[in-house]
Chain A
Amino acid sequence: MSSLLPASFIIILTILIYQGALFIYRRFRRIYTAPIILSTVTIIILLLLFGLSYDTYMLGGKWIDYLLGPAVVALAFPLYQYRDLLKRMLLPILVGTSVGAFIGVTSGLLLSKWAGFSELIIHSIVPKSVTTPVAMSIAESSGGVMPLAAVFVMIAGIGGVLIHPVVMRFSRLTHPLGKGVGMGSASHAIGTATSMERDPLEGSVSTIAMVLSAVLVSILAPGLTILFM
């Protein structure tokens, strides 16, 4: 197989860049050095520098991507460990996440409509706060573009990780329950990964918020879109 060599090279390079990012993050603890942000930026810069396309990167990248599914499945484990506490706090999580889903859909819709963007773009921005496959199917069924929806999901994910220290300070989120609901509702699995790194309880709350949010946004988006368009 001729693609085996570049594929292994890309995988090893990605691991090295991630390890390097992890090292830098542990040293400086600044949010823009978060491993997900630093690794993504480094890889994009390298690809652009050598004139390589995303498809070329995915020769190796797809093997890492295959593990994303089982990585999401793994989130069930901490959820199980905190089940008693989470059961007791289910109502706050459910209400917080519902409010988040409603605000996410309406604010994305009204802001982009107000700025004068086309319906194609508006429908793609609406489901940005949920995990990629769900966001893409919501966008598609309402007349948006799937890859564009995926880009907005990344803005909500990476952007959320980037701005969360400021947002949390501003809204005085100090409790793991508030932080977890905020991260999971706004920044889906990428936010959850960041929460999990800080505190497994916050990460577990974020996991529930992420799952609930996917369901809630799929239900709310079509109705709210008709209402506000």
Chain B
Amino acid sequence: MSKAVTIILQITGLYIIYLLGTLIQNTFNLFIPGSVIGLVILFALLSLKIVPEHWFKQGVGFMIKHLPFFFIPATVGVMSYAYVFEGKGVLLILIGLLSTALVMGISGFVAQWMARRREAAHE
């Protein structure tokens, strides 16, 4: 099988798992999105050895290598709401950035501190 066909087939497999996740979300009215439920399903399938790694390896490699590409349509959507940030609205961008910086810096710092302690304890 050519590489392109393999990748397309494997991405179709990922899509089916995604649809299954969406189905579960809708059936049980969950707040977790179908894609995240699909992520958990694939992790379980791999961990329980129900599907072998090579079933998804190439398709996954392709998707992850180009992950930012799949976000482009979503991020371009910001243009429709540019008006929110007129005048005083500019403050909202600053608030969003400040809050994001706080989350990133502090959560990462705490995790790193704990991780280093565990590593030190192991040695």
Q: Interface of A with B (CB < 8 Å)?
A: 14-15, 18, 34-36, 39-40, 43-44, 47-48, 53-54, 57-58, 61-62, 64-65, 67-80, 83, 88-89, 91-93, 95-97, 99-100, 103-104, 107-108, 111-112, 115, 117, 121, 125, 128-129, 131-134, 137-138, 147-148, 150-152, 154-160, 163-164, 166-168, 170-175, 177-183, 185-187, 189-190, 192-194, 196-197, 203, 207, 209, 211, 214-215, 218
Contacts and interface: CB of A to CB of B under 8 A. Distances in A.
Interface string B11-46: 100110110011000000001111110111111001
B77 interface: yes
Contact of A121 (B69, B92, B108): B92
Contacts of A99: 106-107, 110
Most chain B C-beta atoms within 10 Å of own C-beta, residue among A36, A48, A74, A152: A74
Contacts, number: 326
A48 B76 CA distance: 11
The A interface, classified by DSSP as helix, strand, loop or mixed, is helix
Given A47-B79, A148-B84, A159-B100, A64 B73 contact: yes
A73 B97 contact: no
B73 A129 contact: no
Nearest to A132: B74
